[in-house]
Chain A
Amino acid sequence: MGNLRSVEKALEHVGARAAIGADPDEVRAADGLILPGVGAFPRAMERIRATGLDELIAERAAAGTPILGICLGLQLLFDRSEELGGADGLGLLPGPVTMLDAPGLKVPNIGWAPVRWERESRLVEGIPSETPFYLVHSFVARPAAEDALGTAEYGERFVCAAERDNVFGVQFHPEKSSAAGLRLLANFSGICAKAPAAA
């Protein structure tokens, strides 16, 4: 689910040129970065640190390059997660990542959920509020109120899309969310095209 290839294919589908990799020169040359990701938070951060990708992402974020985290990729953008004993994240968005608070409901939460936009954003332009997106997750990010872009309901009302300046994250899988998901990726691609040229 939400593997690299399907994100790449979805980007190609909306006319973006996508490359998979962690090569510093390639990353620096990119108009935008996407952090996909499935699996567990601590191990993902371990690998990101081992390859020096954490510093590279921080550098690009500071340079104004648009960054989009998807699913676990969104969670990695935050300060820390309590998953599997806990680990620090990239810290590009303030707030923790904690377990879904859905008493009596099954976790992981798998399925389509209508997403309500909490404010306007270039990322979700042309996508009506309450459009369903596809989610597969047990944890959720708890951002600052002003960074909450979209929310959905599963036992609780939780943030499933966040935005602060040039840093974006979605808990749902746009690459598996049909026409609306493709529109979101096309919007992100548009944001990247307008962003300051890569250094």
Chain B
Amino acid sequence: MILYPAIDIRGGKAVRLTEGDFGRETAYHDDPVDAALRFAEAGVKIIHVVDLDGARKGSPVNVKTIRRIADAVPFPIEVGGGLRDAENIADLLRAGAERVVIGTAAMRDPKFLAEMLKLHPERVVVSVDARGGKISLAGWSEPTDVDVTDAIADLTARGVERFLFTPIEVDGTLAGPGFEQLESVAAATSASVIYSGGVGTLEDLRRLRAEAAPNVEGVIVGRALYEERFTVDEALAALA
């Protein structure tokens, strides 16, 4: 299983939010490039970068910072946060992002999603966030009554090849992944799934590797790494 260390950027700094709440954030590194470079020697294969300001605004804000990260790090980066139009996505890919993560726009605008999947094969990840098994949109601020498994099945039928799934209740809590939610999401699609949320211990990672369905290809780890609950090397070993 692939480790995706996470870097969340807000106001040019690397931060983590707890349960997606913009009022509850902790800054861990002044410069996200420093945060990213810490992963360079460890054998990390990719990192997951979120433009939190972009997620809030609905269009990318920290593109310059993302470009600096892409230039500096010796591995591909996946980038999300407020990506809702074709031009912004092209900009980020030009800035050096290997993959872009689309959330709300993929759900609301099927035509846009189809266009992006066609234009950027293998480079589009669709992010699906759920609270209580129901989809939440717009940086988690907008709950819906759509079942996450229904949404995943529908998006798979429309050609999505890779999902990012986050059960909002556990994100940023270090209280352990939402194993049951992940199981139902993975079962609803043949596409790859990256899991995010709640990882706090190496045991969480070992259990994900042992128990998650074969199409769960990776896991995002943020706060646990920043708070040095374990090292990147240990996380890589737990997932190997």
Contacts and interface: CB of A to CB of B under 8 A. Distances in A.
Interface in A168-188: 174-182
Contacts of A134: 45, 75-76
A157 interface: no
A94 interface: no
B71 A9 contact: yes
B157 interface: no
A121 B22 CA distance: 52
Interface stretch (A52-60, A104-112, A158-166, A190-198): A104-112
A1 interface: yes
B54 to A, nearest CB: 21
A126 to B, nearest CB: 14
A175 B75 CA distance: 7
By secondary structure, the B interface counts as: loop
B48 to A, nearest CB: 15
Interface residues of A, number: 24
A181 B123 CA distance: 22
Contact of B72 (A6, A112, A177, A178): A6
B74 interface: yes
Interface in B40-75: 40-45, 70-75
23 contacts: A3-B70, A3-B71, A5-B71, A6-B72, A6-B73, A9-B71, A9-B74, A10-B74, A106-B121, A108-B121, A108-B122, A110-B98, A111-B122, A132-B45, A134-B45, A176-B74, A176-B75, A178-B43, A178-B45, A179-B42, A180-B43, A182-B41, A182-B74
Interface of B: 40-45, 70-76, 96, 98, 121-123
The 8 closest A-B pairs by CB, nearest first: A5-B71, A110-B122, A179-B43, A178-B75, A10-B74, A178-B43, A9-B72, A6-B71
